[in-house]
A and B are shown apart, each in its own frame.
Chain A
Amino acid sequence: MMLQIRNLHASVGGMEILRGLDLDVRAGEVHAIMGPNGSGKSTLAQVLVGRETYDVTGEVLYEGRNLLAMSPEQRAVEGVFLAFQYPVEIPGVGNLYFIRTALNMMRKQRGLDELDAMDFLALAKERMKFVEMDQSFMNRSVNTGFSGGETKRNEILQMAVLEPKLAILDETDSGLDIDALRIVANGVNALRSKERALLVITHYQRLLNYIVPDRVHVMANGRIVRSGDKHLALELEKNGYADFEQDTAGGARSAAGVTS
């Protein structure tokens, strides 16, 4: 099992956002996490990569090891990757340099030699094709002055270079027009593999037309309340989230068992 989450709780400033979440993800699988705004989807992503803003209890095993005990950078070099919903600008730091530094951190962890600028450029050029980026991106500062679509493509490029085992995509589709969405989705699909698991967080079904999930989970009020296959996403598209929010609003219903 790649990822095993049991009874995960997370709160910030005394407000509980995740309220006992369970989830199992195997290598090679693509899981979609859907749900209304405020259901805790992004919090789940942040907690998995070790954002320190949250008080967290429960158990998360990543390849059988305690993920919650690892620092954010350790999780990263162990192969946990987050494509951020709002990638941050780092003025003056070249994109190429940044991604190479990150890759060399991963390589160090795996006992490989660092890649020099020339070798890295060759690799980066090849991976840029995944997201139809040209080299001008590389000479710009990290995300600085990038359009919304460009930042998202840059996230997927980093994923393509860093080759994580578990990639979490946090609302990667938000703010993308249909062409950018297609480019990003194609990039993600090219990275699907037997060794890699993907956790795709999205509000809308639209992305899942391009990235077809093995499992779909519905989150509401900090728990997964329903799980199914790709048809569940279509059902949600038709009926909306209203049913789920009502179901759990009183907290009367216990968390649905996850059956993946």
Chain B
Amino acid sequence: MSAVQKELSELTSREYQYGFVTDIETDAAPRGLNEDVIRLISSKKNEPQWLLDWRLRAYRHWLTIKEPHWQNAHYGPIDYQDIIYYAAPKPKTAGPKSLDEVDPEILAMFNKLGISLGEQERLSGIAVDAIVDSVSVGTTFKKKLAEVGVIFCSFSEAVLDHPDLVKKYLGSVVPYTDNYFATLNSAVFTDGSFCFIPKGVRCPMELSTYFRINQADTGQFERTLIIAEDNAYVSYLEGCTAPMRDKNQLHAAVVELVALESAQIKYSTVQNWYPGDKDGKGGIYNFVTKRGKCAGANSKISWTQVETGSAITWKYPSVILKGDNSVGEFYSVALTNNRQQADTGTKMIHIGKNTRSTILSKGISAGHGQNTYRGLVKILKSAAGARNHTQCDSLLLGSQCGAHTFPYIDVGNPTAQVEHEASTSKISEDQLFYCRQRGIPVEDAASMIVNGFCREVFKELPMEFAVEAQKLLSVSLEGSVG
């Protein structure tokens, strides 16, 4: 190992900094999954009968299907009876909660994560829904948003306060039969965020949800539903962390986006779940179904993701381009270090005329990390004049990691145009040396080069998030380049 490699490998082995556990009194369901547990979850949330029925239908369907294993990742069997499906911080006061009543321990935990739930601090004008384990513990700026008609609350509240909207859109993009993990989520989902932007409203601030897994042995199954009516606009951010634990934890979320005529939804994720230790012990299995539907003409859905955490990431934020002239975008940075595995990409389903999609994927592999881009561009017969441009770039740091690309292209209309570009490169000794000769130490140089590689994606992120993503990338790289 050369001196450079040694320094680089030290750089990439820095510790995960959100790995602490907070001691919160928790109300949890018994371990394991059966109809009683589902009934318990539903009753804890005072859900209407139709929702319980929907859950049970999903559960019964789930029992008939098998866990898929086609992804390019390897892991031991998941024992679904060894997971706790509902864990909630115990409320200290009964009755409706306001932000003033949130357990100080929880506020302290979020402060430690760098998220302020205190509205008076008005941090960068972002409204936050904070979710711990299975439930939402608080949502900021609700009143201010309500003044312009925007509904932003926890999913559980939405079920109670806006049942018609939930009933209309739940499962409309990701049906409960969609896939194994989405079906499981439909049966047991516990909370999540709900956003509704009415006709013609441009949401006055960024909306965000911060997910925190705290409790051991729990799975997090949240459900997010965002609806933008005609001519509405919203930018939504999602962040996540979890404590360091030896055992793997399952995170199987579902996100559904609906954009009506000329509506725009911009969804950004910075995913930093605990990735496991350097030998691959522990970490989150992040098996998530994210899909948006451009239901109306001229609508637009844009996914931007920065995936640096999780032991295994398996997700394909997708767009169904149903409305004519609608636009789908996917911008992704996925970094795998140590023993992390990522199989991620997107699906762009072109149905409407003159629909357009752009895919830009940047995969970075370090240590023993395995990084796979998997994407589908499907142009249906109806999608005359559809266009897609795909670019997949992989960057390898070291000689023991891997980058894989599986693009699927299915064109059913002769007037469509589909382009695919791919590249794989290594961070070169020459680049590193050039930086060092200018006085820039190896680790700064490596993170500068990697950030440069990701720049096209980062510029799609909201400003504060872009800065955060750059920092996160540098931290996640520590100990990996070789």
- Residues on A close to B: CB < 8 A? 49-52, 71-73, 75-77, 81-82, 84, 87-93, 98-99, 101-102, 105-106, 109, 141, 158, 162
Contact = CB atoms under 8 A, between A and B. Distances in A.
B332 to A, nearest CB: 15
Contact of B440 (A51, A52, A73): A73
Nearest to B456: A92
Given A52-B3, A93-B448, A88 B440 contact: no
B449 interface: yes
Contact of A105 (B3, B431, B439): B439
Given A52-B2, A73-B440, A75-B437, 9 more contacts: A71-B436, A88-B430, A90-B448, A90-B452, A93-B452, A98-B438, A101-B448, A105-B439, A105-B441
A104 to B, nearest CB: 9
Interface string B446-482: 0011011111100000000000000000000000000
A1 B439 CA distance: 23
Contacts of A89: 431
B452 A84 contact: no
17 contacts: A72-B436, A73-B436, A76-B436, A76-B439, A81-B437, A84-B437, A90-B431, A90-B435, A90-B452, A92-B456, A93-B448, A98-B448, A101-B444, A102-B435, A105-B439, A106-B439, A158-B438
B166 interface: no
Contact of A102 (B2, B428, B433, B440): B440
A87 B434 contact: yes
A99 B440 CA distance: 10
Contacts of B435: 90, 98, 102
B442 to A, nearest CB: 8
A81 B434 CA distance: 11
Contacts of B438: 76, 98-99, 101-102, 105, 158, 162
Contact of B449 (A93, A105, A158): A93
Given A52-B2, A52-B3, A52-B4, A91 B453 contact: yes
A76 B4 contact: no
Contacts of A51: 433
A153 B420 CA distance: 36
Contacts of A71: 3, 436
A105 B430 CA distance: 20
Contacts of A77: 439
Contacts of A82: 437
Contacts of A99: 438
Across chains A and B, which 5 residue pairs bring their CB atoms closest together, nearest first?
A: A92-B452, A105-B439, A93-B452, A102-B438, A76-B439
A46 to B, nearest CB: 9
Contacts of A98: 435, 438, 448
Nearest to A72: B436
A162 B444 CA distance: 18
A3 to B, nearest CB: 16
A141 B452 contact: yes
Contacts of B3: 52, 71
Contact of A72 (B437, B451, B454, B456): B437
A162 B441 CA distance: 16
Contacts of A88: 428, 430-431, 434
Given A88-B428, A88-B431, A92-B456, A49 B451 contact: no
Nearest to B459: A92
Residue picked from B437, B452, B455, most chain A C-beta under 10 Å: B437
A52 B449 CA distance: 20
